[in-house]
Structure 1
Amino acid sequence: MKTLLLRYLNSYKGLTRPAWMLALIMLINRSGAMVIPFLGVYMTQSLHFTIRETGTVLSCFGLGAVSGSWLGGWLSDKAGHFVIQLGCLLLCVPVFCILPELTQPAHLSAGVFILSLVTETFRPANTVSIASYSSPESITKAFSLNRMAMNLGFSIGPALGGFLAAFSYHLLFYGNAVATGLAGLVFYFFFRNRKGTQERKKRHDSEQNSHQNRSPWKDTHFLIFTLLCCFYAICFFQLLNTLPLFYRQQHHLSDWSIGLILAYSGFVVFSLEMPLVHLAGNRLSAAAAIVIGTLLCGASFSLLVFPGKLLLLYFSMFLLCLSEILAMPFMATVTLKRSSKDTQGAYMGMNALSFSAAHILSPFAGTRIVSSFGFDVLWISTGILAVITAAGFLWVMKKL
């Protein structure tokens, strides 16, 4: 037990104070993450949208995310990560407050597009900020700490959201607005006069001389890697799109029960990510971690075709959590190491773009497969796509 505790504490070594503060801000922000996990259920249950209309609105979230990912990467290189992060956090507040008033599919589609445009512009800037305040040796740990905070917040947000939804779905939007505004204020007061050290920049530059200022659009193997990240995200994002609908329609779970399963996923990732990433970093290559994580994602969804109730649902979610822990931090690390100081924003924007594109394709394809063929066909298709994607990662990582 003592050895396990020491390993857990060692996983935090080398992290700077700004890295911890970025994680705290992410925790505050994600503790209010109530809208997106329940958006599909809100549209079908409260607004009485069809599954196809729900999928269309969720795809508009993806369209905004694609635009925001490109915009965030470009603005981060031009204006700096501080201004972009602060602006996005504060702009989210009025958008969340307006969304409950939009009750028609076209109007809500536009509102969701604007919301995702703002939230996804934040992502590349946040990633560059983490890199700026971390040493090259601790970058993967810093990413994991940030994601750990995000998932701890995600374990709080959906549970609170499931409770509030029992009274009114509108409370989800207002609660999300309050949390985002608070995160913006904390971010401003801590980071307004703080910069990354020149020493870290020089050290990073010396490691990246071989591809200084290369555009990610001209990096062929990285483009293939990005496409594979998109395929992985298409599978993974069923978590936010069709999986809550599956819980409601096939297993007849209440909003509170759905919120508890989603909260459980956040708690698992929060509890296990840092020690597992630390262990994987010492025992596995980035390629092996990403491939294993991708296969676990496919296994998680494929299990849902088998009969079972809560035990099966929680075990499937546990496998999906392990997939996220192994795959996503190393995807970010590979992307960052592929870039130079002057192209960090562009490369991280490209990485974010792959996930944003999946926000379009995942709900659009998922809801239409469910509407035409049922949930079992969707879960089997997701498992097959994950296996193909894992094989692709195995090939391209040798080239990278």
Structure 2
Amino acid sequence: MSRLFKIYADSFKGLSLESWMLSIVMLINRTGSMVLPFLGVYMIDHLKFSLEQSGLVLACFGVGSVIGSWLGGYLTDKIGEYYVQAGALFISVPLFCLYPFFNTPLALGLMVFAQSIVSEIFRPANSVAIAKYARPQNLTRAFSLNRMAVNLGFSIGPALGGLMAAYSYDLLFYGNAFFTLAAGFMYLYFFNRRQKLFRLKKERLSLQGPEIVPEPVKEKSPYTDGPFLIFCLLCAFFSMCFFQLMNTLPLFYKNDLNLSQKNIGLLMGTNGIVVVIFEMLLVHIAEKKFSPAQTLLYGTLMCALSFFLLAFNPVLAVLFLSISLLSLGEILVLPFMATITAQRAGITNKGAYMGANGMAFSLAFIVSPILGTRIAETFGFSNLWIGTTIILVACSIAFKFYVPILLKRKNQDHTF
């Protein structure tokens, strides 16, 4: 037991102060993650949209995310991650407050589209900041710490959201706005000074002479990096299945199993709790024991098993087992996808690479609610979960054989 505790403690060692502060900002921001998990339920239960209408509105989030991912990567490389993150946080606040005034499918779809652009602009900038402030040997753990903060917030947010939704759906939007505003002020408080110090350091280096600062090397665009684009395609297929967690799964809980908002909130919150408890430990062990390809294989198979369990009229205990397996699989997949992307990028185009990989996830978010709700409405949720399982098994095999090829070729294709 003491050895396990030591391994757990060691998984947090060596991380920079900036990595911790980025995670605290993310924790505050994601504690307000109340809107997206309940958006499908809100549309059907409160606005009386059809299942298909709800899927189309949720798909607007994915369309906006594609644009936001590209724009976030572009702006990050142009003006820096500090200004992009701060701007995205503060612009999001009034958008969340406007949600209750949009109550038709078209109007709400446009609102979701606009808000998702702003929210997704934040992600590439945040990923670049993590890579910027992390020590190279701790990069995956720095991403994991940030994701742990995301999921701790996500475990609190839906639970709070379930209680708020039982009283008033409007509170979801105002609560999300409040926590986003708090995250924005916390970010400015800590990183405003850090950003100035970092800029002054670069200026001092530039004054020491041209031999100190190497001439910039023109680096490959991620959109012409064929091997990386194939990796992004695999990420998109995985995400198309994983994002059932955010859209179709709550509808399954509500419509097919007739669960209360409270139980839905508890199930969604379980995802965050499992990730918070186990992410740093499992990533620390996986880095030492497994290759990236093995880690992605095992994690994707866990996700496949979690969806397979949903296909056979699950009782509440099986639902908690399923969401726990999905969470463990997520731990083994998502941080390593981010690390592979950061390692594939060069020095001056990390924002573009993070944005390109983010676009793969965003495209999946477009397909996921439309295809998921359509299959559920036409063939039933059981067939949806079986199809999801098959795709994930195929992805796991592809990761196992392709990731070693991608990592082997990175030194041939890039200058780092």
Normalised to the residue count of structure 2, the TM-score between the two structures is 0.92
2:274 alignment partner in structure 1: 268
Partner of 1:341, secondary structure, is coil
Residues 64-83 of structure 1 correspond to what in structure 2 (within 5 A)? 64-83=64-83
2:258 alignment partner in structure 1: 252
- Cα distance in 2 for partners of 1:364, 1:295 equals 24
1:177 alignment partner in structure 2: 177
Q: Structure 1: which 4+ aligned runs deviate by more than 3 Å?
A: 195-198
2:289 alignment partner in structure 1: 283
Aligned amino acid, residue 366 of structure 1:
G
- Cα distance in 2 for partners of 1:307, 1:212 equals 55
The offset of 1:396, in angstroms, is 1.7
Residues 1-400 of structure 1 correspond to what in structure 2 (within 5 A)? 1-195=1-195, 213-400=219-406
The offset of 1:141, in angstroms, is 0.6
Partner of 1:342, secondary structure, is coil
Aligned amino acid, residue 219 of structure 2:
N
2:413 alignment partner in structure 1: none
The offset of 1:294, in angstroms, is 1.3
Partner of 1:232, secondary structure, is helix
Aligned amino acid, residue 307 of structure 1:
N
Contact 1:221 1:396 (C-alpha < 8 Å) held by counterparts: no
The offset of 1:241, in angstroms, is 0.7
Aligned amino acid, residue 61 of structure 2:
F
Per-residue CA distance 1:62-87 (angstroms, 9 max, x = gap): 00000000000010000100000000
The offset of 1:296, in angstroms, is 1.3
The offset of 1:343, in angstroms, is 1.0
Q: Which structure has the greater CA radius of gyration?
A: 2
The offset of 1:212, in angstroms, is 6.3
Partner of 1:166, secondary structure, is helix
Aligned amino acid, residue 178 of structure 2:
V
- Cα distance in 1 for partners of 2:402, 2:302 equals 19
The offset of 1:351, in angstroms, is 1.0
- Cα distance in 2 for partners of 1:18, 1:373 equals 49
Structure 1 portions without partners, runs of 5+:
202-208
Contact 2:293 2:401 (C-alpha < 8 Å) held by counterparts: no
The offset of 1:394, in angstroms, is 2.0
Contact 2:43 2:54 (C-alpha < 8 Å) held by counterparts: yes
1:205 alignment partner in structure 2: none
Contact 1:37 1:158 (C-alpha < 8 Å) held by counterparts: yes
Per-residue CA distance 1:375-399 (angstroms, 9 max, x = gap): 0110011001111111221232121
Partner of 1:192, secondary structure, is helix
The offset of 1:113, in angstroms, is 0.3
The offset of 1:166, in angstroms, is 0.7
Aligned amino acid, residue 137 of structure 1:
Q
The offset of 1:291, in angstroms, is 1.5
- Cα distance in 2 for partners of 1:307, 1:181 equals 41
1:206 alignment partner in structure 2: none
The offset of 1:357, in angstroms, is 0.7
The offset of 1:233, in angstroms, is 0.4
Aligned amino acid, residue 110 of structure 1:
L
Aligned-pair RMSD on alpha carbons?
A: 1.4
The offset of 1:220, in angstroms, is 1.0
Per-residue CA distance 1:27-65 (angstroms, 9 max, x = gap): 000011000000000000000000000000000000000
Per-residue CA distance 1:313-344 (angstroms, 9 max, x = gap): 00000110011100000000000000111110
- Cα distance in 1 for partners of 2:7, 2:404 equals 30
- Cα distance in 2 for partners of 1:90, 1:26 equals 14
Identity of aligned residues (%): 51
- Cα distance in 1 for partners of 2:128, 2:100 equals 33
- Cα distance in 1 for partners of 2:346, 2:14 equals 22
Aligned amino acid, residue 363 of structure 1:
P
Aligned amino acid, residue 2 of structure 2:
K
Partner of 2:180, secondary structure, is helix
Contact 1:248 1:254 (C-alpha < 8 Å) held by counterparts: yes
Partner of 2:171, secondary structure, is helix
- Cα distance in 2 for partners of 1:398, 1:4 equals 30
